[in-house]
Amino acid sequence: MSKSRQKRTSLERFRLKKALDTLARKEGRGTELVSLYVPPGKQISEILNTLRQEHGTAANIKSDTTRNNVQDAITKVQQRLKLFKKVPEKGLVIFSGAIPQNGPGSERMETYVLTPPEPISVNLYRCDSRFHTEYLEEMLRERESFGIVLLDSSDATFAILRGRHLDIAKEITSGVPGKMRAGGQSARRFERQREAKVLEFFNRVGEYITEIFLGVENLKGIIVGGPGPMKYDFLKADYLHYQLKPKVVSTVDTAYTGKQGVKEVVEKAPEIMRQVRFVEEKKLIQAFLYEIGHDTGLATYGEEEVRRALKMGAVRTLLLSDTLDFERITVKCEACDYHRKETMNYKKVNSFQQGLMGQPCPKCKSPSLSANEMEDIVEEFARLGEQANADVEVVSIDTEEGQMLKNAFGGIAAVLRYQL
């Protein structure tokens, strides 16, 4: 996988997670919310035929409200589906349904179209009281792969963990004799022979690691484990391919090798995976702090300063906190060409819009101001970053450095290509 593809991962994960969090909060009054998953390769006409059949089946629903809501949702899905000439290469996911609003008996039909970050295999139509997002949630976990190597003096096991999917790739025996020597052998000669067998075993382990893991797409790390000290001896012996050495992210103790030992590692893997991303985020923030601390002129922070640097094409790495909860609002006058942009917490948007009513335009004095164009500030900066060919990184606040980005630098910072 290319470097640029890897660099987009945190932004893609942020976008998908935000969309799924929104959808997870949606609930229908009954089984009125439609979820449609279309895998790549499916024909649009085939899916439309299925939806027409479901629309006809929904006519048998006894409740007038439920029947109308289900049929309306199916119609919305059909309309969105018809906008596509063919199913995108990664598939297509559409959610639609009547979502209860604050007022009694008040509902609003909402429709969401998502392009999965990876090709989907599930082919699903479901009508329920919630949107079925679990298949996309699984993708948040499945984007990264980890190699697992377990070894002790008797054998070694190699496995690949992709999200929740585990594949035992290879199991080998060591050929290393036990520590008890046969009668008549000198202790020194036996130890020399045993050491030679150990080194030969280490060499084979290194070769299998290269063969199995070197070509794995998006390999985020290798976890080395086992029940004894041999895993440490192997790492010291320097039998790892030079490209895979930096991939060793954790060494863990297990009671077993083999499938049982792999299961032990898998139980510990979620925390290890979190730590890997934390390390990546720490390095990103520390690189920014180095430029700030050494006053090199190759870093800047703050909304306006970073926006200016992006528009000049000067940003190499854009750092955004995942806790930014601001909207970028465009205020326009309907009577003239006056417009301005403002940034505010999303909780203040409604009151701000109401406060504009009746206000005179600063240019033509007409009471025609409105603020209907809104964009999440992370999305705005991500768009500007992509236009400037910058690496866009969305950073969590789960590390000390991530908290510093949010609290000390306003959650928006950049490492620059050149001094402004």
pLDDT tens, position by position, 3-39? 434 444 678 778 888 888 889 889 888 889 999 999 9
Of 220, 243, 276, the residue at which a domain comes to its end is 276
What percent of the chain is predicted at pLDDT more than 70? 94
Bridge partners for 38 per DSSP: 92
Task: Identify the CATH number of the domain in which residue 376 sits.
Answer: 3.30.1330.30
Tokens representing residue 42 in the block: 């499916």
Say yes or no: 272 and 333 in one domain: no
87-105 average pLDDT score: 86
263 and 157 housed in the same domain: yes
Q: Does residue 184 carry a pLDDT above 60?
A: no
What number is the average pLDDT over the span 306-310?
A: 96
| Six token digits for residue 53 | 């059949």
32: containing domain: 21-141
Kindly state whether residues 314 and 221 are assigned to the same domain.
Answer: no
AA identity, residue 185: Q
| Predicted TM-score of the model (pTM) | 0.66
Residues 62 and 157 in one domain: no
Distance CA 56, CA 394 (A): 45
- 220 and 342 part of one domain: no
Same domain, 148 and 104: no
Q: Say if residue 389's pLDDT is above 60.
A: yes
Residue 143 confidence (pLDDT) above 70? no
d(CA 381, CA 387): 10
In this structure, is residue 186 part of a structural domain?
no
Domain shared by 314 and 361, yes or no: yes
Same structural domain for residues 95 and 160?
no
116 and 156 both lie in a single domain: no
Within a domain: 188: no
pLDDT band at 135 (very low <50, low <70, confident <90, very high): confident
| Among 395, 409, 388, CA closest to 315 | 388
- Give me the chain's average pLDDT, please: 89
- Distance of alpha carbon 213 from alpha carbon 223, whole angstroms: 12
Q: What CATH number is given to the structural domain containing 43?
A: 3.30.960.10
Same domain, 33 and 123: yes
pLDDT over threshold 80, residue 338:
yes
Count: domains in the chain: 3
pLDDT tens per residue, range 275-287:
777 888 888 999 9
Q: Are residues 148 and 210 in the same domain?
A: yes
Same domain, 247 and 320: no
Query: Is residue 384 a part of any domain in this protein?
Result: yes
pLDDT, tens digit, 9 for 90 and up, residues 42-75: 999 999 999 999 999 999 999 898 999 999 999 9
> Has residue 283 been placed in a domain?
no
Residues 298 and 25: their CA atoms lie apart, in Å, by 41
